[in-house]
Each structure stands twice: as C-alpha cells, then as structure tokens.
Amino acid sequence: MVNDKSAPVATNGKTATIDKVRRSSVSQVKAKVLRPFNTAEVKILLLENVNDTAIKAFKKQGYQVETYAKALVGDELIEKIRDVHVIGIRSKTKLTKNVLDAAQNLQAIGCFCIGTNQVDLQAAAKKGIAVFNSPFSNSRSVAELVIGEIIALARQLGDRNTEMHQGVWSKVSKNCFEIRGKTLGIVGYGHIGSQLSVLAEAMGMTVYFYDVLQIMPLGTAKPVDSLETLLSMSDFVSLHVPELEETKNMIGEREIMGYMKKGSYLLNNARGTVVHLPALAKALKSGHLAGAAIDVYPKEPAANGPHFTDYPELLKSPNLILTPHIGGSTEEAQSMIGIEVSSALIKYINEGGSLGAVNFPEIDLRAIREEDDVVRVLYIHQNIPGVLREINSLFADHNVEKQYSDSKGDIAYVMADIAKVSEEDLIKLYNAITATRANIRTRVLY
C-alpha cells in the first residue's frame, strides 16, 4: 500500500512542500502470464458432474471445457479422451492403462474426490501424466455424516423410519441409547478421523484411536497400541483408512466376533474393501453387533438407478444403515473440491508446478516476473543415470536463472527458467530436449 502525504519545509525563508511517500515493506511482483510453446488450445474434459466451481475456474483461464454428468466407459471414454489435455473425474470413471494409452495429448488428471484408486497411477506416471486429487476438502462432511449415523444407530432410527413408511407404529425404548458417555474407537486418525474425534467429544463421547503413525491427539482423545485393543473397548467403531493391500478385509469375522463387544456398532465410511461384508451380515443377524452403517462397497454401481444388487445379504440385516457412497456429497465439500483440484491443475498447466501430485515428483519454482525475458522448460524424463548431465549440457549456452529437479520412483521432473532465448534458439532447444534418450514429455512455457 502507498500512502502519499505532503509536508511543509523551509527553504531560504520560504515554505515549500515535498511529497513524503510511505511504501509497503513487501513489494508486489506481478507474475508473467505464460503461454505454451508448440501446443494448441487447452482442452478440458470433465465427467461425473464435476462441481461448477471447477468449470468456472477453467473457463476463466480461456480453456475449452466439455462436461458430462455421468461416467464414461469403454470406446466412448477412449474416443473422448483421445485429444484432451486434462480430464477431470470422480470415483466411477476408470482410467486404466488401456484408456491412458489412447490419450495422445493428456498432461494431467484431476480426481475431484479423495481416492485415486480409479486411476492406474503407475501407467499415468510413465506417460508423464500428473494426477491430482483433493484429500482434505470433504473431511468435515464425512465427519458430520458419521456423527449422524452414530445417533441414528443408537436410536434405531433406520428401522423405525422403515416401519413408519410401511404403516407400522412401533414406539420402543429397549436397546435405544444416548451416545453421551459411550466410547468411540476411530481406526485411522487422519483429517477425517481427527475431525470426527472433536465432534464426538463435543457430544460427550470418550474417544480412542488407532493409527499406524504416531499422531498428536486433539482434545482428550487417546491412542491405543493395537487394532484389537481398540475394538475390544469401543461401543462404536468408525473406520477411516485408505484402500491398501494391508487394509483389505481389515475388519472380518475374526475382528468382529473375536474382539468387538457384543452390542457394539460398526461404521465404514472409508473404502469398500476394508470390511468383509458377509461377516458383517452374519454378526448383525446373530445379534453380536447391535447395528452398522455402510457407505462404501467393494463393487459399486456405475450410475444411479436400481443397480444395487450385489449384496442381498445386507438388505435384510437389522439396524443397518446403507448409503450410496455419499460421505463427501455435500454442496460445501463439492465446491471446495472443485476449487482445490482445479487450482492445482491450472497451476500445473500454466506454470508447471506439481505440488499435490500423487504419482509424480512434487516441485515448483517461484513465478516469472512480467518484465523478465525468460522461458520455462518443463522436462519429464526417465529416472536413469546421466540425464541431468545431458540436459544441463543443452542449457550450457544459456543463462539458467533457476532450476529444480526431483524424482519419484522411475519418473523425474526438471523445471528450469532460462533467460534471453530467441525464438530460433527456443525451437532448437525444444527439439534437442525432446530428442534426449530419457525424454517422456517436454513442455516449454514463455
């Protein structure tokens, strides 16, 4: 901020005024708007009804945006992805190696959700395609859903609601409880688990958690040293772990019948493969579990409609709340996800910064100033010996203002800002870089 003031001064008996200027101690540098070299108009394909906040952000950049309300599969997906630079999906579209091989221009994938298991991350990385997601934006929505489920299970609201819709009046208090004073066990104390912890404590619950990492508790929550310990002491068990080989069927007959308290409740809003559903149905039918809430399933329908037919054993289970993977499906969460993922994608397309990529080296450089005569080279390459020596030899005749490189697995990424490159030299440099033995994808912004 600049504040101009005039102050009187004496000069040879006369009074004059001079301007006193107070300037901000932090100078505001205007970033240069970069444009891609040797690339046509950026095309964005958004599937599965991606939130309008993302659509507006992309259109503001001047990108060409095509949207679909549903997931695409098979030949239709392959045809649509063939010439786009960015694709945005949620959880139902499957981007397999076969699909990615057809994507000739694809630079980035935006998963407008938490999970990325619907994308072949390794195949994407090998093609130089960065994958971004939104791991935190829907944490509050999921945590609030769990609180609602805990109360609904404790009061058997699901069964009472079904009975009322069938014309049955069944006013009972047996086996209906307050949640105040009950113990909640949280498996996975990340962003969702920790938020749930705070909300549950505010409602008078005692909270314990189990996590494979050492995490500082919030409030008065306490960690325990094993899953079995947590299960044996909890009235309610809520799962918040990622889909990994280690978490597949993490909760099965052994855990439910062998460790969970009789009359306790199980809630899964994490991933469908975490709970062995036949074991859950058996425990509900026998009365060992007093209730459960399931929002995710090993196999989920690709579209809305009467397609939930793979788990008939669940449909007749008592006090079981079934929801169609809606943990993060709130207006607030979807809006935040749209903003978070589109911002990361725009940063990557416009500037090359890859912070937040899940399959890719995460690097960034400070913005190029508007007055700088600088081009930015973005070089994605195989992570093999001698590549940096080779690429730096190509830079040797130019002034490299700043450079950053990093690797992740078999993939490495170099960002370099090079000053005063003529158009003729730019073409030569681009051709030389793309001809290197390790080149996967090269972009130049100027």
Cβ proximity of 58 and 347 under 8 Å = no
* Catalytic-labelled residue, pool 85, 90, 155, 271: 271
Q: Is 180 a catalytic residue?
A: no
Active site residue 255: no
User: How far is it, in rounded angstroms, from Cα 176 to Cα 389?
Assistant: 70
Return the SS3 of 161.
helix
Task: Return the number of other C-beta atoms located less than 10 Å from residue 370's C-beta.
Answer: 10
Print burial letters for 403-442: b (CB count within 10 Å at least 16), e (below 16): bbbebbeebbbbbbbbeebeeeebeebbeebeebebbbbb
* The residue type at 436: T
Residue 389: how many other CB atoms lie within 10 Å: 8
Residue type, 418: I
Computed on alpha carbons and rounded to an integer, the radius of gyration of the chain in Å comes to 28
CB atoms within 10 A of CB 343: 16
Show Cβ contacts of residue 249 under 8 Å, excluding neighbours closer than 6 positions. 273, 274, 275, 276
Catalytic entry in 144, 243, 300, 390: 300
Question: CA 434, CA 426: separation in Å to the nearest integer?
Answer: 12
Q: How far is CA 56 from the centre of its chain?
A: 19
Our answer to whether residue 398 is catalytic in this structure is: no
Report whether 227 contacts 187 (CB < 8 A): yes
Q: What's the angle, vertex CA 294, arms to CA 293 and CA 297, rounded to 5?
A: 170
Q: Which residues contact 386 (CB under 8 A, 6 or more apart)?
A: none
Which residues are part of the catalytic machinery?
271, 300, 325
